[in-house]
Structures are given as C-alpha cells and as structure tokens.
C-alpha cells in the first residue's frame, strides 16, 4: 500500500508539461458525439459513421518501410463530457485469441493497443491492450523503458468499457474471417490525474498499435498509427496528436477548424 501511495504521489507531481507539435507526426481531430454511444463493438451509431477514419496503420519503422502491412487497420475517436471513445477496424482473415485473464500479457496474442499521454510530457502515460476475446490489459508507465521506466500493472481503469465484434469466428480456420472491431470508452475521470478537462492539455500525445503474429511464436509484425522509427512503442515523443474539437461530429462546417 505504501509503494502504491508513493507511486501515485509521484505520478501526480509528474503530470505538468504540455504537448508541443512535432513536424511530420500524424494528428486526429476528435469531435463530440451527438447522441448516446452503446459500446458493443458494432460502430453502428450515426456518430461513428460520421467520424473520419484515420490513415491506414503503417509499419512501426516508417510509412515507407517495406513490406507494407498486408492487412489494413484504421482507428476512429469521439468524445463527450465523460468518455474518450476509441474504435479500431481490423482486417483479419483468421481471427485468433487465447488469453482470457485480465492483465495477461496480451501482445502474445494478435492484439490492439492504445497509448495515451494527456499532458504530453512522456511520463506517467497509460497503456491499454486487448485481444479478440475482449481480454484487457491496462497499466501506467512512469516513463519509457529506455529511460529506466517501470510499469504499474495493479492499476485498473475504473469504469472503462470495452467490446469486440468479430466478423467471422474466433479460432476457426474452416472459413475465412473478415476481421474484428474494437470499441472502447475510456472515462476521463479515471485518467484525469493532473487535469480537470480533457481539453486542458489539448492536444494529447497518443498512439495505436496492432501486433500481428503471421506465424505462431514469431516473429511479430508491428503496425501502428504513427510510426516511431524503431520497433518500440515506448517512444512517446514520436507519437501522434489527438485534437479535441468542441463541435459535433456531424457538423461538416466544423471540420475545417479545431
């Protein structure tokens, strides 16, 4: 308990800096919802249909790295007063999963990963991973591993919502699948350490990753939204940017501004 208190005390002290745009990094304009989002993995609400998909994910080593990803991955985001909504559309002809225990090392399966650094200082950022079963791993990093960082796995994101929809059948090779969809709602209240409003540190530094195992036991492919230039997601200064736009997602006139 004392170690947990000291960790959280240090965390509170560390969330102070603001993100500064890095030339060449990808960015996403995240608009407000206009209605209720049911987190069921299906993305059939009008707001999800109106939300712009991201660029296709690229190899973690760079957008021009060859060979390019063989399967497409894109993400979308929305927000309201309570949640950041994240969706991933994952092309996959053979949907597989094995891990079912919360906080298992999910990237040992094919997975989808979310990295959030609200204040953009590269410290005390959040990581979420899930597989096609909807098994979740969530943690806080005090700083990147390359800087001697440590993860805090006992932290669970209170109130998080996660659902998966599989277009096909998990762990069955009888018929080709089409893919799987991730839908996640991250409560601002559970990650609002050092800020009162999601826009207080606008923009946030964020990134998204897909770990794909073409052959069991490796090597793995790493396909990401904003390439870091190395096979290493824990380079938060090389992530992309999430811009909160205080306008409804279906207002086309708002898309020209932030």
User: What value does the mean pLDDT take over residues 85-89?
Assistant: 98
Indicate which CATH number applies to the domain containing 62: 2.60.40.1190
Tell me, yes or no, whether 12 lies in a domain.
no
Q: Of 203, 249, 196, 209, whose CA–CA distance to 79 is shortest?
A: 249
Task: Report the percentage of the chain scoring pLDDT > 90.
Answer: 81
Tell me, yes or no, whether 177 lies in a domain.
yes
Q: Of 73, 121, 31, whose CA–CA distance to 223 is shortest?
A: 73
Residue 198's pLDDT is what? 76
Whether residue 22 has pLDDT greater than 90: no
pTM of the predicted protein model: 0.89
> Which domain covers residue 67, as residue numbers?
26-256
Tell me, yes or no, whether 4 lies in a domain.
no
Tell me, yes or no, whether 1 lies in a domain.
no
Residue 201's pLDDT is what? 82
Tell me, yes or no, whether 10 lies in a domain.
no
Whether residue 70 has pLDDT greater than 60: yes
CA distance 224 to 208: 6
User: What value does the mean pLDDT take over residues 204-228?
Assistant: 95
What is the number of domains present in the chain? 1
User: What value does the mean pLDDT take over residues 162-174?
Assistant: 96
Whether residue 118 has pLDDT greater than 80: yes
Tell me, yes or no, whether 137 lies in a domain.
yes
Residue 216's pLDDT is what? 82
DSSP class of residue 115 equals E
Tell me, yes or no, whether 13 lies in a domain.
no
Residue 197's pLDDT is what? 72
Contact between 65 and 75 under an 8 Å Cβ cutoff? The reply is no
Residue 177's pLDDT is what? 97
CA distance 145 to 258: 34
Tell me, yes or no, whether 5 lies in a domain.
no
Contact between 18 and 231 under an 8 Å Cβ cutoff? The reply is no
- Average pLDDT, whole number, for the chain? 89
* pLDDT, tens only, 119-160: 999 999 999 999 999 999 999 999 999 999 999 999 999 999
Residue 11's pLDDT is what? 42
CA distance 179 to 167: 5
């Amino acid at each position: 308990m004392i170690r947990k208190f000291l960790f959280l005390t240090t965390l509170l002290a560390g969330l102070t800096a603001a993100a500064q745009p890095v030339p060449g990094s990808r960015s996403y304009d995240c608009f407000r919802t206009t209605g209720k989002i049911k987190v069921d993995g299906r993305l059939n609400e009008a707001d999800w249909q109106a939300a712009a998909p991201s660029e296709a994910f690229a190899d973690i080593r760079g957008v021009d790295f060859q060979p390019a990803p063989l399967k497409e991955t894109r993400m979308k985001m929305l927000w309201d007063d309570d949640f950041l909504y994240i969706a991933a559309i994952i092309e996959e002809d053979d949907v597989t999963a094995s891990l079912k225990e919360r906080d298992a090392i999910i990237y040992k399966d094919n997975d989808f990963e979310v990295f959030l650094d609200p204040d953009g200082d590269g410290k005390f950022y959040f990581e979420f991973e899930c597989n096609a079963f909807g098994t979740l791993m969530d943690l806080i990093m005090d700083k990147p591993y390359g800087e001697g960082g440590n993860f805090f796995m006992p932290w669970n994101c209170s109130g998080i919502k996660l659902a998966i929809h599989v277009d096909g059948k998990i762990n069955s090779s009888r018929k080709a699948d089409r893919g799987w969809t991730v839908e996640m709602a991250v409560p601002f209240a559970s990650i609002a350490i050092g800020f009162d409003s999601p826009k207080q540190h606008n923009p946030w530094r964020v990134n998204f990753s897909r770990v794909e195992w073409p052959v069991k036991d490796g090597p793995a492919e790493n396909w990401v939204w904003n390439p870091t230039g190395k096979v290493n997601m824990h380079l938060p200064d090389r992530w992309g940017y999430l811009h909160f736009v205080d306008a409804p997602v279906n207002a086309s006139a708002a898309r020209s501004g932030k």
